Structure 1
Amino acid sequence: MKQYKILTINLGSTSTKLAYYENEECKIKTTLEHSVQELSVFNDLMEQDGYRREAIEKFLRDNGISISDLDAIASRGGHTKPLEGGVYQINETMLEQQASGLYGRHACDVGSKIAYKMAAGTKILPVVVDPPVTDEFIEVARLSGHPELPRQSRFHALNHRATGKRYARDNGKKYEELNLIIAHMGGGITVAAHRRGKMIDATNGIDGDGPFSTNRTGGLPVGALVDLCFSGRYSHKEIKKMLNGEGGLTAYLKENDVRTVEEKAATDDYFALCLEGMIYQTCKEIAAMGAVLEGNVDAIVITGGIANSQKITARMKERIGFIAPVVIYPGENEMDALALGALEVLRGNEPLKSL
């Protein structure tokens, strides 16, 4: 069997996650941390590509990996017009849409820009896999209550699909045969209904929807939020920061590390209440997705960093175990998902899509 060499890139606001694969096997991975001071010299996020690329190429040199030997570079990203899930070749159209900022902006958009530039003029295939704009919603899921405010598909699509496929493999099934409810629990918490290979409904983990998390508010009382917006006490930017960055456990407790919250909850009733509130809201959304799937649920799968907490997942099982078996996959599967997506295209098992 031919051995394919794949580099995966996953950019966060102050970090660059990298992994090198030979076929399915991860040979080496690392996380490069970037200080706020280092990044402050850039006026725009998209200007970081040269700085980040230099760090990536140093990682490759330090580990004896030649760029010319790579078959593919798979980046998390990016923010374009809504797309069906799959593996997409990075091209000029994708980069133009990302640069516009019309569809959102995240460090992962820099990652796809870097992948494209590193692959230019070579045999290397630059791709993104299940980008954050993946949209497979059924039409009824888009209705919000007002036509000017449609519900949008904005969630952890990459890790959701990767986790769903992992569960299918572990159980000798095809992902396309299963109905799953998957909850990704990290800095943001998103819950989605997976119906036979499509993610047909999900909570928006960016803009104030679904359960609150460590630093995001999730859904808020609409009338009270409108009043707050027009109170004159906060700017538009401050309200947006309140929704994503300064909400959730951070707002209640001034603490966004779940491990610390869990420790303090053992002796502090208010910490215990707020932690239970996050669990309660997440379980409520999981139950709602059970209705989306009309009760036909093969399994509930919990993933993300918070899934490392046995106490939290045990409490969730108590609340939602009546719906379907609950399976825990702690951490994120994003690097493996990127590599496997690129590998399936290289092997001809999955189509390569483009904008």
Structure 2
Amino acid sequence: MILVVNAGSSSVKYQLVDLDGPIRLKEGKIERIGEPGSDVPDHEAALLRVAEDVSMDSADLTAIGHRVVHGGPLFTGPVLITDDVVKQIEEAVPLAPLHNPSNLAGIEVTRRLRPDLPQVAVFDTAFHSMIPPAARTYAIDREVAERFGVRRYGFHGTSTAYVSRAAAALVGKPGTANVIVLHLGNGASASAVSAGRCVDTSMGMTPLEGLVMGTRSGDLDPAIIFHLIRGGMTPDEVESMLIHRSGLLGLCGDNDMRTVMERVESGDEEAALAYNVYSHRLRKYIGAYCAVLGRVDVIAFTGGVGENSALVRRNVLTGLEPMGIRLDPLRNVSVKGARLVSADDSAVAVAVVPTDEELEIARETSEVLARTKSE
């Protein structure tokens, strides 16, 4: 059995997975860690609750797999956690200040609770480490870029790896399919995957670049930042605004797509503009990645919005029929698991694939253990 731990800044999600099934034996989420009025003061208290729920002292537990958001330039795959690995994850904190510290807190506590168990770090950025230089390099002074680690890292990699593989299997082309993965939730990204290798992704050095998201701006002219600072905002204020008060929230005051769509249907002009900006950006990335890949076998929707909003899928893909993309209206509104929702005569398949990051983390953790034993 493998325990998967996803420690966020104020929450811990966890699953106990038996890969022989695969079967989820336990799963849960502890929220509001360290918040006023919460009875969970810190990550140690949260992990102690997890330990009790999953019987962390059980002899049947073979390993613990941790989600780590940013692996920096060093980690191109999952690794066995050592003191040196912890130090290198700490060095990547400036690249993910909102995520890596909480990931490290989860690692520190579980290593203390079960020092006898192998523990593995699975990085969101690792799947994107194979992106070719032309796609990962920003056109700025090379010496500056190297000194500050400026390059495209990409995120949602664990989800993208799982979904691209599942989508390729759905169309009968495991290991060979060209897939566009659209991970649409409060955070959102698009990725182009060719034969199992990521060749481009919309998020960049940080998760701020790319698609319009719930509270994040996505792509914008960098000169806007200088303009705002010269106008009196501090760099911290600009950063906070772009991360926490932009995207759908900044445009219409709501970051929940369900609420935005309800407002659109009621004739709300602000919500309609926000939705149109969101859809336009997403459609533009689909077109760009069709060009990057040359041939697209399947477009896969995942994440809370991607999996559950038939309306978003329909609106975004409408008009792309000349590119060989045709939805089947009835299939698109079905609610069964992983499925094709494209028409039979669509040259490009369209799939809905519920993501399973925890299962992917467990699988990659198991692979690391097997590789370690064989060395």
User: TM over 0.5, yes or no?
Assistant: yes
Is 1:189 aligned to 2:192, yes or no?
Answer: no
1:304 counterpart residue number: 303
Match of 1:325 among 349, 354, 370: 349
1:111 counterpart residue number: 106
- After superposition, where does 1:16-31 map in structure 2 within 5 Å? 16-23=12-19, 24-31=22-29
Q: CA offsets, 1:267-309, max 9 Å, x none?
A: 113212211211210121121122221x221111111111111
1:11 counterpart residue number: 7
Is 1:286 aligned to 2:286, yes or no?
Answer: yes
Secondary structure, in 3 states, of the residue corresponding to 1:180? strand
In structure 2, do the counterparts of structure 1 residues 173 and 217 end up closer, same or farther at CA, with 3 Å as the change threshold? same
- What CA distance in whole angstroms lies between the structure 2 residues aligned with 1:108 and 1:169? 32
TM-score, length-normalised on structure 2? 0.80
Secondary structure, in 3 states, of the residue corresponding to 2:140? coil
- After superposition, where does 1:2-81 map in structure 2 within 5 Å? 5-23=1-19, 24-35=22-33, 36-37=35-36, 48-61=42-55, 66-81=57-72
Q: CA offsets, 1:198-221, max 9 Å, x none?
A: 212111264542121111000112
TM-score, length-normalised on structure 1? 0.84
Secondary structure, in 3 states, of the residue corresponding to 1:192? strand
Aligned-residue offset at 1:39:
7.8
Secondary structure, in 3 states, of the residue corresponding to 1:301? strand
Aligned-residue offset at 1:245:
1.6
- What CA distance in whole angstroms lies between the structure 1 residues aligned with 2:83 and 2:69? 13
Q: CA offsets, 1:116-159, max 9 Å, x none?
A: 33441x2x321123433552220111333323455411311111
1:45 counterpart residue number: none
In structure 2, do the counterparts of structure 1 residues 95 and 191 end up closer, same or farther at CA, with 3 Å as the change threshold? same
Q: Which amino acid counterpart does residue 241 of structure 1 have in structure 2? A: S
- What CA distance in whole angstroms lies between the structure 2 residues aligned with 1:30 and 1:155? 23
- What CA distance in whole angstroms lies between the structure 2 residues aligned with 1:84 and 1:319? 40
Secondary structure, in 3 states, of the residue corresponding to 2:318? helix
Greater mean alpha carbon deviation, residues 236-245 or residues 74-83:
74-83
Match of 1:334 among 354, 357, 360: 357
- What CA distance in whole angstroms lies between the structure 2 residues aligned with 1:181 and 1:117? 41
* Structure 2, gaps ≥5 residues long: 325-347
- What CA distance in whole angstroms lies between the structure 2 residues aligned with 1:339 and 1:114? 19
In structure 2, do the counterparts of structure 1 residues 143 and 78 end up closer, same or farther at CA, with 3 Å as the change threshold? closer
Number of residue pairs matched by the alignment:
332
- After superposition, where does 1:142-181 map in structure 2 within 5 Å? 142-147=136-141, 148=144, 150-175=150-175, 177-181=176-180
Q: CA offsets, 1:181-238, max 9 Å, x none?
A: 1111112111111122221211126454212111100011233332112221x22111
Q: Which amino acid counterpart does residue 17 of structure 2 have in structure 1? A: Y
In structure 2, do the counterparts of structure 1 residues 300 and 215 end up closer, same or farther at CA, with 3 Å as the change threshold? same
- What CA distance in whole angstroms lies between the structure 2 residues aligned with 1:326 and 1:83? 35
- What CA distance in whole angstroms lies between the structure 2 residues aligned with 1:290 and 1:185? 18
Aligned-residue offset at 1:113:
3.2
Q: Which amino acid counterpart does residue 163 of structure 1 have in structure 2? A: V
CA RMSD across the alignment: 2.6
Q: Which amino acid counterpart does residue 333 of structure 1 have in structure 2? A: D
Is 1:139 aligned to 2:133, yes or no?
Answer: yes
Higher relative contact order (CA 8 A, sep 6+): 1
Question: Structure 1 runs of 4+ off > 6 angstroms?
Answer: 38-42
Aligned-residue offset at 1:78:
4.6
